Structure 1
Amino acid sequence: MTTTTVSGVDVRALLLVHDALRREYRWMPDLVRAVHADDTSRLLVVAEHVRWVGRLLRHHHEVEQRLLWPALLPRLAGAGRVVRRIEERHTEVLTADVRAGEAVALWCAEGSGRCRDSLADALEAVGEVLVAALALEEAELLPLARRHLTPTEWVRLGEQSVGGLDPRQLPLVMGLLMHQADPEVIRGLLGHAPLRVRRVLPQVAPRARDRYVRHVYGGTDLSL
């Protein structure tokens, strides 16, 4: 679990997203390789999971590009250099993600062991560039956000990020973020949600996560 000292805006909720993405791209290549070539049902389960995680990755990047970077650039002379470096990393990640998307489509169409292994290799390539991109963000961009954004701006960014998700997926996404998370961070993440959501989501989210992880990975242990 990623931790950081809170000073200024509390960016730890975004670090939970980074942790979840790193975890999935670390696990997915082996998840794909474990599918037998003749197991069509399992192929469909794993392929949909790969696509779903890819959508979350693209949503995360889109929110940063649309909301976080424009908020920082006008007020920080040095932010442009940082953002350009991160944009280059994002391009690398999204290029690798496109290849993974093509590979999963081919695997679904052909179902062969060769296509399965090509997808696993493509996911490893995404994971490699993603880890580097997230590390750069955490080292250079998030400290700027922590110091120079207002709490109101940060809350708005979080609200629009959540608002871009399928509401039916929200308990699952929250459950994945809650794994090993500091309860204080989760309370902050839910702090501006309606009262009913604040009360209910912490109860239903872990159950949604466990059902999904059992369905995809065959167990509920997220420390693999």
Structure 2
Amino acid sequence: MAEPADKGPAVDSMIVSHRYYRGQLAQAPMLVRELRAGNATRIRLVIGHVYAVVLGLQNHDRDEDDLLWPLLRARIDPPPEAIGRVENQHHQLSALTTRVRQALTDLLADADLTMCEPTAELLTELSEAADAHMLDEEKTILPLVAEHLTATEWTEYAARGISRMSKAQRRYAKSAMFAYCTPDEQAIMLAKLSVWARLMWQLHGQHVYPRHLARIHGR
């Protein structure tokens, strides 16, 4: 019996991830600027959230460097210039995310929040750089991934990111990705669930991200 044909990697999932990072990074400068001295609980909540987003972006890029680019270089001869270009962008983003993470750590220890504005400006710089990079990646790299990688290789790449998450972080990530899906993409995700799993998702899972977002924005 013939083996079923490989349907190829589901690269649309990366586009959804990019929407999440774009959305969160765009909101981050405002969240930092709105912090007020004396509200320690909210300061920890907001800085923790922004820090997690920035760290997630850094890990996202590192996984691509470690797993995707070597496969593309091995499959395409000569390797397209775009691979080297996005690698260089990752190096620049990594340096910037490291600076942002340090700024957020310092801000957490700054009782008077004097570092709010410099930190917000760094976050704006990161947001703009990450947005330009992700647009380039979606235009030039994802078509190469779709053509030259298998679905199994893509699943292994995605599994690396999932493996570093706790159960709570996985629930948050799934709910957040769902929120950034289009209605058609959401319908496809739900169609893959059993009736029981879909019911549990509708009752609990899909609300994890909106509830977190409401806390972050003080609603």
TM-score category, normalised to shorter length:
0.7 to 0.9
- Give 2:36's aligned residue: 36
Q: Is the 8 A contact 1:21 1:57 kept in 2?
A: yes
Partner of 1:48: 48
Count, aligned residues: 213
Residues 160-201 of structure 1 show CA distances to partners (whole Å, capped at 9, x for unaligned) of 332232222111111111114146645766999999867745
Larger-gyration structure (1/2) = 2
Alignment of 1:74 with 2:36, yes or no, is: no
Query: Could you say which structure has the greater relative contact order, defined with CA pairs below 8 angstroms and 6 or more residues apart?
Result: 2
Q: 3-state SS of the aligned residue for 2:38?
A: coil
Deviations 1:19-55 (A, max 9, x none): 0000011001001101113322221111111111122
Q: 1:43 to 1:86 in 2, by over 3 A?
A: same
Question: Take 1:190 and 1:163, find their aligned partners in 2: how far apart are those partners?
Answer: 23
Per-residue CA deviation, residues 141-173 of structure 1 (Å, 9 max, x unaligned), is: 101011111222222222333223222211111
2:118 is equivalent to residue 142 of structure 1: no
Q: Distance in 2 between matches of 1:19 and 1:28?
A: 14
* CA 1:164–1:195: 2 relative to 1, 3 Å: farther
Identical pairs, percent: 23
Distance 1:126 1:132 in 2: 10
Report the RMSD for the aligned CA atoms in angstroms: 2.6
Other-structure match for 1:222: none
Aligned counterparts of 1:156 and 1:188: Cα–Cα separation in 2: 21
Tell me how far apart the structure 1 counterparts of residues 148 and 202 of structure 2 sit (CA, whole Å). 30
TM-score of the superposition, structure 2-length normalised? 0.85
* Structure 2: 5+ residue stretches without partners: 1-6
Output the CA distance in 2 between the equivalents of 1:199 and 1:159: 25
Gaps of 5+ in 1: 1-6, 220-224
1:106 partner amino acid: D
SS at match of 2:114: helix
The normalised TM-score by structure 1 is 0.83
